[in-house]
Amino acid sequence: MGVTIRPAREADAEAIAGVHVETWRYAYAGLLPQEVLDGLSRRRQTRRWRRAIRDPQAELGQVFVAEDGGIAGFGSASREAGEITTLYVRPDAQRRGIGRMLFHHMAEFLEGPVSLWVLDGNPAAGFYERLGGCPGVHATVERWGRELGRTRYCWPAVSVRS
């Protein structure tokens, strides 16, 4: 089945929350505290994503979904920050080009340079390098009582589609 990228609707919030919880548990095991992953709640995430979809001016920006019959992945991009704020593909749908499609769609939406943050140790760094991103500044953030390192990846607007 083909994959379509489109802006998210409120009715997608529950499916997005399902992909969010499943992908975090799969991708962040060993990177984030296990109690954080165990404590993820689909119901809370559904509320959070519904709020984000309703308010594209808020921190996460505009939410997009990749649809393949269900929700195969999602992402969000903030024009104000020039940043891709989230990008997740369901584990069983990874390595089929969906992450790249979402990335390019959001880069077009941003209409300018693109940046995003990648957590230290996240294999997604390899994906972003494959898409031409350059690692830049490294910073630490305090989350869940821990110092987490992360690197900012950047793309000048002209090289987004190369």
Ligand X SMILES: CC(C)(COP(=O)(O)OP(=O)(O)OC[C@H]1O[C@@H](n2cnc3c(N)ncnc32)[C@H](O)[C@@H]1OP(=O)(O)O)[C@@H](O)C(=O)NCCC(=O)NCCS
Residues in contact with ligand X by the rule CB under 6 A: 23, 27, 87-89, 94-100, 118, 122-124, 126-127, 130
User: Cβ contacts of residue 132 below 8 Å, gap of 6+?
Assistant: 155, 159, 160, 162
Q: How far is the CB of 72 from ligand X (least distance, A)?
A: 8
Q: How far is the CB of 125 from ligand X (least distance, A)?
A: 7
Neighbours of 145 (CB within 10 A): 7
Please give the helix or strand (H or E) that residue 139 lies within, else none. strand 134-143
Q: How far is the CB of 52 from ligand X (least distance, A)?
A: 16
Residue nearer to ligand X on the CB measure, 17 or 89: 89
Residue nearer to ligand X on the CB measure, 55 or 129: 129
Residue nearer to ligand X on the CB measure, 126 or 156: 126
The first and second tokens of residue 69, run together, are: 């019959």
Q: How far is the CB of 158 from ligand X (least distance, A)?
A: 19
How far from each other are the two terminal CA atoms of the chain, in whole angstroms? 26
Residue nearer to ligand X on the CB measure, 50 or 150: 150
Residue nearest to ligand X according to CB distances in the complex: 99
Residue nearer to ligand X on the CB measure, 96 or 105: 96
Q: How far is the CB of 28 from ligand X (least distance, A)?
A: 8
What is the distance between the alpha carbons of residues 36 and 146, in angstroms, rounded to a whole number?
A: 11
What is the distance between the alpha carbons of residues 39 and 143, in angstroms, rounded to a whole number?
A: 15
Question: Which candidate, 123, 85, 117, 118, places its Cα nearest to that of 102?
Answer: 85
